[in-house]
Amino acid sequence: MECVNDEDYPWLDWTNSLDNRWRGYLPLHFGIGIMDVDAITNLVARGADVNEPSIIGNTALHISVKRDCASSITKFLIANNGNIESKNKYGLTPLHEAVRYFSLPNTRILLRHNANVKVEDEMGQTALDWAVHNLRRETLEEAPHLLVIARKIIEELLDWGTPHCPQLLLRAYPWYDSYTVEHAVTILSKHSLKRKCARLPYHSELLISERDLQRYKSKCLNELTRLKSVRVNSHSLYCIFSTCCTVYHVEDVKRIVWSSNILVDFPIYGSLLQATFTKNEKREELLSYGEQILSYLFLKIELYMPLLVVGKILDCINNEDLPATVTSLCKIINTPLPNLKYNIYTV
């Protein structure tokens, strides 16, 4: 990479102090604004804080996620400890901003780094609320190509576990016009149908027009057949949607799931496949650690409990409660929770 000439970029020598801001923004923010990768790299190497906010609370990530072409910068910032859960003065996280600005690549990056899909801004809006807001007639009439992007963003958010039960929708979307609601209902119906076809839990109340979605259903079933045909040893990719636990330890399966063409080869189920794999892999990691602690506690009170039984006990705990349970077990033995591979609070 070519070195940045300090004479051409005098602001590279600015520090992160408030005295060296211009209109409330720091040099790193300007570097991202003009997408100068050399300058950004140089600033971070010199110690620029990637999480230092602007005058309105925007961090470097808030700025980079607004444009598709800055997705490589988003990855760089996350790799350098960018906080994907930081909020600006309006309560917006980088995920909110990526969605609001129709940036599918950045939305995908954030979701795959465990961005919390349940976070609400100061108005009580989640990323999904903003994604539905993007379906407004006036927006899409001015730029009709955005409809495809808006739909895909909603699908991604749903695949990665955004709550979307009927009660939440009724409370959140009463002010949207019929145009917006019609598109949102179609997307939600398709999502429920694809989960039903894969024999995954789904909201039957949201599957409003299955009869009108027969063509989409055929595509789902066809793609599921292809998932079952992709085999690695005794496993197929469809095993990820099943109760099979050993599939998450097969390196070749991981490689396929995270390959660059998985979303192209499986446009309907690719994202859901990655999300399910991530969630269940996190669960397996938590269960393994919890088993060790619980077995140790049983031994301390001289109660021998087979590891299989210990595992069965913990396996009864759902995803929502498992992180808190493991954290409590850590506190009992006065041991800090280890730096797990994934953020356990987004299981």
65 and 103 Cβ atoms separated by less than 8 Å: yes
Closest CA to 38 of 79, 62, 6: 6
Identify the CA nearest to 100 among candidates 143, 173, 150, 175: 150
pLDDT at 8: 52
Shortest CA distance to 17 belongs to which of 52, 64, 58, 57?
A: 52
Are 65 and 40 contacting, i.e. CB atoms less than 8 angstroms apart? no
pLDDT on residue 61: 97
pLDDT number for residue 238: 95
User: What is the model's pLDDT at position 4?
Assistant: 40
Measure the CA–CA gap between 46 and 213, rounded to whole angstroms: 55
Sequence ranges of the domains in the chain: 10-163, 230-347
pTM for the full model? 0.83
**CATH for the 10-163 domain, from 3.40.50.1000, 3.40.190.10, 1.25.40.20, 2.40.50.140:** 1.25.40.20
What pLDDT sits at residue 103? 97
pLDDT value of position 6: 47
Dig out the tokens for 96 from the structure.
């909110």
Write out pLDDT tens, residues 132-190: 989 888 888 888 889 999 999 999 999 999 988 766 555 555 567 777 888 888 899 99
Mark the ranges of the chain whose per-residue pLDDT is less than 70: 1-24, 166-175, 336-347
Residue 108's pLDDT is 96
**Half-sphere exposure of residue 13: CA atoms within 13 angstroms, side-chain side:** 6
With the CA atoms of 100, 63, 1 and 43 taken in that order, what torsion angle do they form, in degrees rounded to the nearest 10? -160
Give Cβ neighbours of residue 215 (< 8 Å, ≥ 6 apart). Answer: none
Q: How many CB atoms lie within 10 A of CB 306?
A: 10
Distance CA 101, CA 156 (A): 15
pLDDT at position 197 is 96
Specify the pLDDT at position 203: 86
